[in-house]
């Protein structure tokens, strides 16, 4: 793209432009998408690239026990293969499971396939995600998150209900997917040994390290779906960019001024806040463009957006208007958007990082892998040739890691360890992982579980305790299940169940940055000096009081009514588990001291202490941490807090805080804190 002249909009926010270099040697590749929303659904199905391959594919899949299927995003793997198998009568003796790393994907894909089959969701086609089960005895095609299939394996390690498991989006290598690989592989082998109905395992992805997967899955054959490919021009910046947000902004308007308005732009950024901020700036600038420069619609896309808003990215822009989608990595593979001609890749992604030394798991913005960068570029060439603008130099690209490190090697493993032990895996360290987690991370997880009382060591072996078994019955992180199990001691189970449910559901509150003042004013009446957990509980109680369906109230208070409704379901399910465990459930009414005390006891590992200079230190690791500005405790300086998670941006921020007493922490883990708490406070 020529950059020699000054563009007025670019001038407005920062003089100069982003200069790109073109690399003609590296073609991109992508499949076309034919048809559109007005084409009947049967016709759309037949236009998918996979349709051509159907007879041959079914022949092969009928015979194989293991297969790896590679085909570009949008070629029809996820929606068609389950139907093809079913129609061909393959695996009819049981269910066909299709696993997804993301719940949004599981739900929307099940919806799409039910529509294609012209049946009501929950009949032939259903889905199961955490806290939501839309299946029935008729269900044969079951979309589910990999975490859910894993939980089912605790009760049924051979997965006997299933005849086929499609492990979809395998390249994402979430920690659940990785554990599931091992569980499914073991189930397949055991079933063969016991002469049970065989289990077919098909691994699907648009992109992955096929050798690694093939080797792991018993040297399984790799089937490639062919399709037409469109070349993609790749552009790199001439110089490293110190501010990718700014670079993205400039690039969007450079393209906007030069390319035909029907060519849509997809921009890969890292997270909600950044995307919303960029969207605001784009809209502002778009209002003041010179004549002859058409209008644009700017559409944010991230996982926690309400589904109705997520759908906006699929709608074509009005004629004579450009669509600019600002997305997280969700648009890399999980979502296919048509009409994209330009991709702008920040080269960054927000992902989990774990340091076994500190035992802390943080979300941090980091560089993508090469595989991710190619996948992003590929989004530009779906219908015809396209261009990808990388906001980094070619040298920077060359220094990227080839593949994303699997999550299992960079996350806190305590939840997984607890599950594996509940699955009866005797020696967790020797579990058949595709990529082994580091011994330090495993040790750190076992230590964590030991602190929570979930496991104990005897003669060098680690065993699940009775408490640990109970903890594993909850589909929750160990510290949350521990907090619930402690709640009867403080007569505050109702409150704790509400709080844990609130924390388990995505985005119960909206925080539109453009309405920051209004949001603050609305939240004030619920705000508690005791912290965010109690504030959240206040909002939930108020929500229930005004009869939950009150849309007006939700709008005024920036409450996500749909998700708040979900909280009730979650709570009901957690309550059922408690009742099965014979717990006595009660409420402490308005006395929140008990609730905080219970939270302190369950979450003590995430405690932080105020320092004389006004900063905070995480007690476990002595890492400096700060209170996130979104917290109700941001202004105050409480001496001790526990927090839910750490977010690493410019600093390491604690999010969702609860005010606690030093004594409670000592009471929770006397030995542990005996070494750590400040003597002056004890």
- Closest CB to ligand CDP among 79 and 233? 79
Give the residues across from 201 on adjacent strands. Answer: 66, 165
**List of long-range contacts for 509-515, beta carbons under 8 Å, 24+ apart:** 509/536, 509/539, 509/558, 509/559, 509/560, 510/558, 510/559, 510/560, 511/558, 511/630, 512/276, 512/558, 513/273, 513/276, 513/277, 513/280, 514/276, 514/280, 515/558
For residue 108, the minimal CB distance to ligand CDP (Å) is: 4
- State in angstroms the smallest separation of the CB of 80 from ligand CDP: 6
Name which of 313 and 668 has its Cβ closer to Mg ion.
313
Map residues 329-368 to x or -, x wherever contact with Mg ion holds by CB under 5 A.
----------------------------------------
CB of 6 to ligand CDP, least distance (A): 40
Least CB distance to ligand CDP at residue 209 (A): 18
Q: Which is nearer to ligand CDP, 108 or 177 (CB)?
A: 108
Q: Which is nearer to ligand CDP, 75 or 412 (CB)?
A: 75
**Please, what is the minimum distance in Å from the beta carbon of residue 601 to ligand CDP?**
43
Structure tokens at 182: 């091992």
- Smaller CB separation from ligand CDP, 143 or 664: 143
174 touches, from Mg ion, ligand CDP, none (C-beta below 5 to 8 Å by class):
none
Nearest-angstrom CA–CA distance, 247 and 254:
10
Q: Which residues bind ligand CDP (CB under 6 A)?
A: 33, 48, 71, 73-80, 108-109, 112, 336
**What is the closest distance, in whole angstroms, from the C-beta atom of residue 389 to ligand CDP in the complex?**
24
Which residue lies nearer to ligand CDP by CB, 106 or 326? 106
Q: How far is the CB of 418 from Mg ion (least distance, A)?
A: 30
Cβ burial, residue 427 (10 Å; 0-12/13-18/19+): exposed
Residue 117: contacted member of ligand CDP, Mg ion, none (CB under 5 to 8 Å, by partner type): none
What's the Rg (C-alpha) of the chain?
26
124 binds, among Mg ion, ligand CDP, none (CB under 5 to 8 A by kind): none
Nearer to Mg ion, 77 or 341 (CB): 77
Structure-token pair, residue 165 = 């498991």
Picked from Mg ion, ligand CDP, none, the partner binding residue 109 (CB below 5 to 8 A depending on kind) is ligand CDP
CB of 73 to ligand CDP, least distance (A): 4
Q: Which of helix, strand or coil describes residue 206?
A: coil
Considering only CA atoms, which of 105, 101, 104 is closest in space to residue 174?
Answer: 101
Q: Parallel, antiparallel, or unpaired for β 222-224 and 66-70?
A: parallel
48 or 559: CB nearest ligand CDP: 48
Nearest Cα to Cα of residue 115 among 73, 79, 74, 77? 79
Find the binding residues for Mg ion in span 64-123 (CB under 5 A).
Answer: 77-78
Among ligand CDP, Mg ion, none, residue 347 binds (CB under 5-8 Å by kind): none
Alpha helices in 38-76 (DSSP H): 41-47, 49-63
The answer to whether 207 contacts Mg ion (rule: CB under 5 A) is no
Q: What is the DSSP string of 511-564?
A: --GGGHHHHHHHHHTT--TTBHHHHHHHHHHHHHHT-TT-HHHHHHTTB-HHHH
Chain residues that interact with Mg ion, rule: CB under 5 A: 77-78
């Amino acid at each position: 793209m020529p950059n020699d002249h000054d563009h007025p909009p670019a001038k407005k926010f920062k003089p100069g432009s982003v200069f790109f270099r073109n690399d003609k040697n590296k073609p991109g590749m992508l499949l076309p998408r034919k048809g559109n929303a007005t084409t009947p659904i049967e016709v759309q199905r037949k236009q998918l690239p996979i349709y051509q391959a159907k007879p041959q594919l079914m022949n092969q899949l009928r015979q194989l026990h293991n297969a790896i299927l590679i085909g570009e995003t949008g070629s029809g793997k996820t929606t068609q293969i389950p139907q093809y198998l079913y129609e061909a009568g393959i695996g009819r003796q049981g269910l066909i499971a299709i696993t997804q790393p993301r719940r949004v994907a599981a739900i929307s894909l099940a919806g799409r396939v039910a529509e294609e089959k012209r049946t009501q969701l929950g009949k032939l086609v259903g889905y199961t995600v955490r806290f939501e089960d839309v299946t029935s005895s008729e269900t044969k095609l079951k979309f589910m998150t990999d975490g859910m299939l894993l939980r089912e394996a605790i009760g049924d390690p051979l997965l006997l209900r299933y005849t086929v498991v499609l492990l979809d989006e395998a390249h994402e290598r979430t920690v659940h997917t990785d554990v599931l690989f091992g569980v499914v592989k073991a189930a397949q082998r055991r079933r063969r040994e016991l002469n049970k109905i065989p289990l077919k395992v098909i691994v699907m992805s648009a992109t992955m390290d096929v050798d690694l997967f093939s080797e792991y899955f018993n040297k399984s054959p790799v089937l490639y779906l062919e399709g037409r490919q469109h070349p993609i021009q790749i552009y790199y910046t001439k110089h490293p960019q110190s501010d990718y947000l700014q670079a993205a902004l400039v690039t969007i308007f450079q393209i906007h001024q030069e390319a035909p308005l029907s060519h849509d732009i997809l921009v890969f950024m890292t997270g909600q806040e950044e995307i919303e901020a960029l969207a605001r700036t784009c809209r502002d600038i778009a209002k003041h463009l010179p004549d002859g420069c058409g209008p644009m619609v700017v559409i944010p896309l991230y996982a926690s957006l309400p589904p109705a808003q997520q759908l906006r990215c699929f709608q074509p822009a009005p004629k004579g208007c450009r669509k600019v989608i600002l997305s997280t990595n969700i648009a890399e593979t999980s979502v296919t958007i048509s009409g994209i001609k330009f991709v702008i890749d920040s080269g960054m992604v927000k992902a989990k990082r774990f340091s076994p030394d500190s035992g802390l798991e943080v979300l941090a913005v980091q560089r993508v892998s090469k595989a991710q960068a190619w996948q992003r570029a590929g989004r530009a060439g779906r219908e015809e040739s396209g261009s990808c603008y990388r906001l980094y130099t070619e040298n920077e690209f060359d220094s990227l890691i080839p593949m994303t490190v699997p999550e299992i090697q960079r996350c806190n493993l305590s939840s997984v360890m607890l599950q594996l032990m509940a699955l009866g895996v005797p020696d967790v360290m020797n579990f058949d992982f595709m990529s082994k987690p580091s011994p330090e991370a495993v040790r750190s997880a076992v230590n964590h579980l030991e602190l929570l009382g979930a496991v104990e060591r005897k003669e060098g072996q680690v065993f699940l305790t009775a408490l640990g078994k109970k903890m594993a019955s909850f589909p929750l992180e160990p510290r949350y299940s521990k907090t619930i199990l402690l709640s009867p001691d403080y007569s505050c189970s109702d409150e704790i169940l509400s709080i844990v449910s609130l924390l388990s559901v995505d985005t119960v509150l909206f925080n539109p940055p453009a309405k920051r003042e209004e949001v603050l004013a609305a939240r004030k009446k619920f705000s508690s000096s005791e912290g965010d957990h109690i504030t959240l509980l206040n909002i939930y109680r108020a929500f229930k009081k005004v009869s939950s369906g009150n849309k007006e109230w939700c709008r005024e208070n920036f409450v996500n009514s749909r998700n708040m409704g979900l909280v009730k379901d979650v709570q009901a399910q957690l309550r059922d588990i408690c009742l099965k465990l014979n717990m006595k459930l009660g409420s402490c009414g308005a006395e929140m001291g008990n609730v905080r005390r219970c939270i302190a006891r369950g979450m003590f590992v995430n405690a932080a202490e105020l320092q004389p200079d006004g900063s905070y230190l995480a007690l476990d690791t002595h890492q400096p941490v700060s209170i996130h500005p979104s917290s109700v405790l941001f202004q105050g300086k409480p001496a001790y807090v526990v927090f839910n998670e750490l977010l690493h941006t410019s600093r390491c921020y604690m999010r969702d805080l609860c005010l606690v007493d030093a004594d409670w922490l000592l009471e929770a883990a006397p030995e542990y804190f005996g070494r750590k708490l400040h003597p002056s406070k004890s």
